């Protein structure tokens, strides 16, 4: 088309300038006659205006005949039913019920510490001992007294069975013996508190108090023990999700620091709404076979709160909204062999979103061909050309 315009322009200029009888522009300029030069300029301007008018006529006719020129180019995709999982995204912290700072139950000097940091221990293993302050000797003395009380009681019991002696003597010796046994039992309980034992199997994370230090019952921190096998994540869920978040819901757990992603389930939901922030707690059990997950580690959670097995999903970017607040998209109808079709506006009802896609509840069915690229530039009932690759 460009070549035709150029050829036409050259032809018209040559025609306007005349044949061999007329002088060229260069010859007229060389003569230096002002009147002749002005006459020649007027002739060229007139020719230029005539060419412009002819070009306008040609462009108008081309626009009439070339209907493809004005058709917008678009791309489309077909709506299809697929599984749609919606996730509630929250943040939580890793906890364990087996994390404990051990305090002594007896006051005295920490005479011996049997473990060190990082050491594995089993339940009831002896971790440390505290000076008993003479309790052991008191127990020994009471055991001697109890032995004498036992012998006296047994003799008095034999006499009483033979109807020898008074009942009061028998009862006094019996009471004295039983009192000695109870005194020994109480001292042995106190003596057992001088031995610090592991409350559960785990790892000694930190030895806080050094051997030889004076410790107070219930006051001095001796050591921290932790078990990393039974880990869980705790998070707060807004009360509006109470109908959708329950026990055994699937959860995608991500630990950004570790670069680790795992699948888990909710093992427990709280039965109390916190009035301060209108949330309830959930616990998510997580495996920790390699012990890389530590208490208080931050985790990103994606809780599956909604699933549609036959959802129609579309990109959010193709949705527009009219003056009534209704959402609409464009689909195509009557597609011919030249991939030309008619754009039709369709009002839709949408549901939940996830990332860049949104669920369509009404207005689109499986197999509908929807305009994607060019969706915001077309008009209702406009002709379009599909250029899908």
Spatial separation of the C-alpha atoms in residues 8 and 133, rounded to whole Å: 121
pLDDT above 70 (res 66): no
227, with CB counted inside 10 A (0-12, 13-18, 19+), is buried
| CA terminus-to-terminus distance, the chain | 28
Residues 68, 334, 360, 366: is their CA dihedral positive or negative? negative
Strand order in the sheet with 108-113: 195-197, 126-130, 108-113, 214-215
CB 192 within 8 A of CB 130: no
300 bridge partner residues: 91, 254
Residue 67: which pLDDT band, with cuts at 50, 70 and 90?
Answer: low
Q: What does 305-366 look like in DSSP terms, one character per residue?
A: EEEEEEEEEEEGGG-EE-TTS-EEEEEEES--TTSEEEEEEEEEEEEEEETTEEEEEES--T
User: Three-state SS for 66?
Assistant: coil
pLDDT above 80 (res 19): no
User: Three-state SS for 123?
Assistant: coil
pLDDT tens string 129-154: 999 888 888 889 999 998 998 999 88
Q: Residue 27's pLDDT is what?
A: 81
pLDDT tens string 90-133: 999 999 888 899 999 999 999 999 999 999 999 999 999 999 88
Fold of 101-225: OB fold (Dihydrolipoamide Acetyltransferase, E2P) (2.40.50)
pLDDT tens string 248-293: 999 999 999 999 999 999 999 999 999 999 999 999 999 888 888 9
- The CATH architecture of the domain made up of 89-97+228-306 is Beta Barrel (2.40)
CB 338 within 8 A of CB 321: no
pLDDT above 50 (res 7): no
* Residue located via tokens 């860049």: 356
Residue ranges per structural domain of the chain:
2-65, 73-85+309-386, 89-97+228-306, 101-225
CB 115 within 8 A of CB 204: yes
User: Three-state SS for 82?
Assistant: strand
The pairing of beta strand 73-74 with beta strand 383-386: parallel
∠ at Cα 115 (110, 116), nearest 5°?
105
∠ at Cα 92 (91, 95), nearest 5°?
170
Spatial separation of the C-alpha atoms in residues 135 and 219, rounded to whole Å: 21
* Residue located via tokens 């994607």: 372
Question: What b-and-e string marks burial along 100-110, b requiring 16 or more CB atoms within 10 Å of the CB?
Answer: bebbbebbbeb
Q: Residue 331's pLDDT is what?
A: 93
Q: Write the DSSP symbol of residue 145.
A: H
Q: Residue 360's pLDDT is what?
A: 94
Spatial separation of the C-alpha atoms in residues 234 and 257, rounded to whole Å: 18
337, with CB counted inside 10 A (0-12, 13-18, 19+), is exposed
Residue 93: both structure tokens together: 């912290």
pLDDT tens string 73-98: 999 999 999 999 999 999 999 998 88
CB 282 within 8 A of CB 270: yes
14 contact partners, CB below 8 Å, separation of at least 6: none
Spatial separation of the C-alpha atoms in residues 63 and 56, rounded to whole Å: 11
Fold of 73-85+309-386: 2.40.420
308 contact partners, CB below 8 Å, separation of at least 6: 83, 84, 351, 359
173 bridge partner residues: none
Spatial separation of the C-alpha atoms in residues 331 and 318, rounded to whole Å: 11
User: Three-state SS for 194?
Assistant: coil
| Cα-only R_g, the chain | 48
Q: What does 241-266 look like in DSSP terms, one character per residue?
A: GTTT--TT-EEEEEETTTTEEEEEEE
């Amino acid at each position: 088309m460009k070549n035709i315009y150029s050829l036409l322009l050259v032809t018209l200029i040559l025609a306007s300038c005349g044949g061999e009888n007329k002088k060229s522009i260069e010859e007229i300029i060389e003569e230096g006659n002002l009147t002749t030069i002005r006459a020649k300029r007027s002739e060229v301007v007139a020719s230029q205006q005539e060419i412009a008018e002819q070009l306008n006529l040609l462009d108008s006719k081309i626009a009439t005949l070339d209907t493809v020129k004005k058709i917008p180019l678009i791309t489309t995709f077909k709506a299809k039913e697929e599984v749609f999982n919606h996730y509630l995204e929250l943040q939580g912290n890793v906890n364990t019920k087996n994390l404990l700072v051990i305090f002594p139950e007896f006051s005295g000097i920490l005479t011996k510490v049997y473990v060190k940091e990082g050491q594995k221990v089993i339940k009831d293993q002896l971790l440390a001992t505290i000076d008993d302050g003479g309790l052991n000797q008191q127990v020994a003395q009471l055991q001697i007294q109890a032995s004498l009380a036992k012998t006296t009681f047994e003799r008095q019991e034999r006499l009483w069975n033979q109807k020898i002696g008074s009942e009061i003597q028998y009862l006094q010796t019996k009471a004295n013996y039983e009192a000695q046994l109870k005194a020994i039992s109480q001292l042995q309980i106190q003596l057992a508190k001088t031995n610090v034992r592991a409350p559960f199997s785990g790892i000694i994370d930190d030895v806080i108090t050094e051997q030889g230090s004076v410790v107070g019952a219930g006051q001095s921190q001796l050591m921290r023990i932790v078990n990393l096998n039974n880990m869980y994540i705790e998070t707060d869920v807004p009360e509006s999700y109470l109908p959708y978040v329950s026990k055994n819901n699937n959860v995608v757990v991500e630990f950004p620091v570790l670069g680790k992603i795992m699948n888990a389930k909710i093992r427990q939901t709280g039965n109390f709404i916190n009035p301060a922030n209108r949330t309830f707690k959930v616990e998510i059990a997580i495996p920790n076979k390699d012990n890389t997950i530590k208490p208080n580690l931050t985790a990103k959670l994606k809780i599956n709160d909604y699933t549609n097995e036959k959802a129609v999903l579309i990109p959010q970017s193709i949705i527009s909204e009219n003056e009534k607040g209704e959402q609409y998209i464009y689909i195509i109808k009557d597609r011919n062999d030249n991939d030309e079709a008619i754009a039709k506006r369709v009002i839709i009802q949408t549901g939940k979103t996830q990332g860049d896609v949104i669920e369509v509840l009404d207005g689109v069915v499986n197999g509908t061909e929807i305009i994607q690229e060019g969706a915001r530039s077309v008009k209702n009932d406009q002709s379009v050309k599909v250029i899908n690759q």
